[in-house]
Amino acid sequence: MPTETMIVTSAKTCVAPVATSRVGGIRAAGTKSTMRPSLARVTLSRRASAVAVSAGKKAPEMPPIVSPTDGTPEWFACVACADFYFNDIQNEALAEQLRELRRYYEEQEREVDFFFVCEPEWLNKFPQAKAVRKPAVALVSTDKTWITFMKLRLDRVLKLDVGPMSIDEATKSTAEIPEYKDSTWRAPYTPYSKGWWEVFMRK
């Protein structure tokens, strides 16, 4: 697996022979391996714009920042089973990546617009979500660019355009994250503390 660097300029994708498999709690035809760009590619993009302006250069066009608490903004999501998000060795670094993003938001004095939602109430509107093992967890945000990035980063998730709704509707959970036993962990190092995801769930 390639080593991720702070800033990556491109992502290459290779497709394996077609086979039926269950990945990320989703049953799909075909498996795909992605060389994933660093989260910093997204989180530092607005910093890059600021640097360009300070240097007297024209800043690149950036999508507008949408307030998650203002009216009924558009929401987007990456959906997978809870086990994939919180108990899969492949995603062990996800906790630190989200903490990094949250620190960046705090530095920019920006409202947090990304949350984990366990079995969101709106999920039943999407027939394709029935293929996701239960309990399903959605990583939701009003930032379409970031959700698209996370789809590429996580790979084995279902990307959905949830639609316009209030933050209360978008983050309403109907189930709890299950307890995972330490015996299911197979990596030779200690995992993050159980429940690290709770800080990213809206109360």
Q: What is the pLDDT of residues 53-83, one digit of tens each?
A: 455 666 556 667 888 888 899 999 999 999 9
- Whole-structure pTM value: 0.68
Tokens of 37: 């760009």
Would residue 40 count as lying in a domain?
A: no
Domain contains 158: yes
Q: Is residue 55 part of a domain?
A: no
**In this model, does residue 3 exceed pLDDT 90?**
no
Using alpha carbons, list the distances in angstroms from residue 45 to 58, 74, 86, 99: 14, 21, 27, 17
Does residue 36 belong to any structural domain of this protein?
no
Please check the confidence at residue 121 and state whether its pLDDT lies above 80. yes
Say how far apart CA 202 and CA 190 lie, in whole Å. Answer: 27
Q: Where are the beta strands (DSSP E) in 4-103?
A: 13-15, 20-23, 26-29, 32-34, 74-81
Range of the domain at 153: 65-200
The per-residue pLDDT for range 6-41, each reduced to its tens digit, is 333 333 333 333 333 344 555 444 444 443 444 444
Regarding predicted confidence, which is higher, 192 or 151?
151
List of residues 6+ apart from 195 with CB closer than 8 A: none
Q: For the chain, what is the domain count?
A: 1
Residue 194 pLDDT:
77
Q: Is 153 helix (H, G, I), strand (E, B) or coil?
A: helix
Q: Which amino acid is at 78?
A: C
Would residue 47 count as lying in a domain?
no
Residue 20 is assigned to a structural domain of this protein: no
Whether 39 is covered by a domain: the verdict is no
The rounded distance, in Å, linking the Cα atoms of 92 and 192 is: 7
Burial of 49 from C-beta contacts in 10 A (0-12 / 13-18 / 19+): middle
The strand ranges marked E within the chain are 13-15, 20-23, 26-29, 32-34, 74-81, 114-118, 136-141, 158-164
Structural domain includes residue 48: no
Whole-number pLDDT of residue 38: 46
Please state which of the ranges 26-30, 61-65, 117-121, 199-203 shows the lowest mean pLDDT: 26-30
Structure tokens at 69: 């608490």
CATH number of the domain residue 110 falls in? 3.30.70.1860
User: Which of 40-49, 82-91, 167-176 is modeled with the greatest confidence?
Assistant: 167-176
Spatial contact of 62 and 44, defined as CB atoms under 8 Å apart: no
